[in-house]
Amino acid sequence: MTMTGAKEDSNTNAPLILNMTPNEYLKTVLELQKLADDSDEMKELQAHRADVEKLLRNEFATSSPTIRYGGSKAKGTLIKESYDLDIICYFPHDDTAAGGSLEEIYNNVSRALAKKYLVSPKTSALRLKSNDPRTLALDFHIDVVPGRYVDGADGDCFIYQAGAEKQRLKTNLEVHINHVRESGVVDPIKLLKLWKTRRSLQIKQFIWELLIIKLLDGKTSETLAAQLEHVWTEVRDSEDPMSVEDPANPTGNDLSAAVSAAWPSLRGAADATLSTLANSGWQAVFGTTKRLDETARVETLSKAAASASIITKPWAPR
Is residue 21 one of the residues assigned to a domain? no
Is residue 74 one of the residues assigned to a domain? yes
Give the mean pLDDT of 8-13. Answer: 35
Contact 299, 291 (CB under 8 A): no
Task: Looking at the structure, tell me whether residues 126 and 82 fall in a common domain.
Answer: yes
Task: Looking at the structure, tell me whether residues 127 and 232 fall in a common domain.
Answer: no
Task: Looking at the structure, tell me whether residues 101 and 55 fall in a common domain.
Answer: yes
Please report, for the domain that includes residue 145, its CATH number: 3.30.460.90
Q: Which amino acid is at 126?
A: L
Is residue 62 one of the residues assigned to a domain? yes
Task: Looking at the structure, tell me whether residues 172 and 187 fall in a common domain.
Answer: no
Is residue 295 one of the residues assigned to a domain? no
- How far is the C-alpha of 188 from the C-alpha of 313, rounded, in Å? 37
pLDDT in tens, 211-266: 999 999 999 999 999 999 999 999 999 999 999 999 999 999 999 999 999 999 99
Is residue 27 one of the residues assigned to a domain? no
Global pTM value: 0.83
Instruction: Collect all residues with Cβ–Cβ distance below 8 Å to 159 and sequence separation of at least 6.
Output: 102, 124, 145, 146, 147, 168, 169, 171
Whether the pLDDT of residue 307 is over 50: the answer is no
Give the mean pLDDT of 14-34. Answer: 82
Alpha-helix runs per DSSP H in 216-288: 224-237, 256-280, 282-286
Is residue 140 one of the residues assigned to a domain? yes
Task: Looking at the structure, tell me whether residues 88 and 163 fall in a common domain.
Answer: yes
Among residues 173, 178, 152, 168, the alpha carbon closest in space to that of 253 is found at: 168
| Count of structural domains within the chain | 2
Is residue 200 one of the residues assigned to a domain? yes
- How far is the C-alpha of 176 from the C-alpha of 184, rounded, in Å? 14
Task: Looking at the structure, tell me whether residues 193 and 173 fall in a common domain.
Answer: no
User: What's the domain range around 136?
Assistant: 40-179+305-309
Task: Looking at the structure, tell me whether residues 123 and 61 fall in a common domain.
Answer: yes
Length of the chain equals: 318
What's the mean pLDDT when you consider all of the chain? 87
Q: How confident is the model at residue 271 (pLDDT cuts 50, 70, 90)?
A: very high
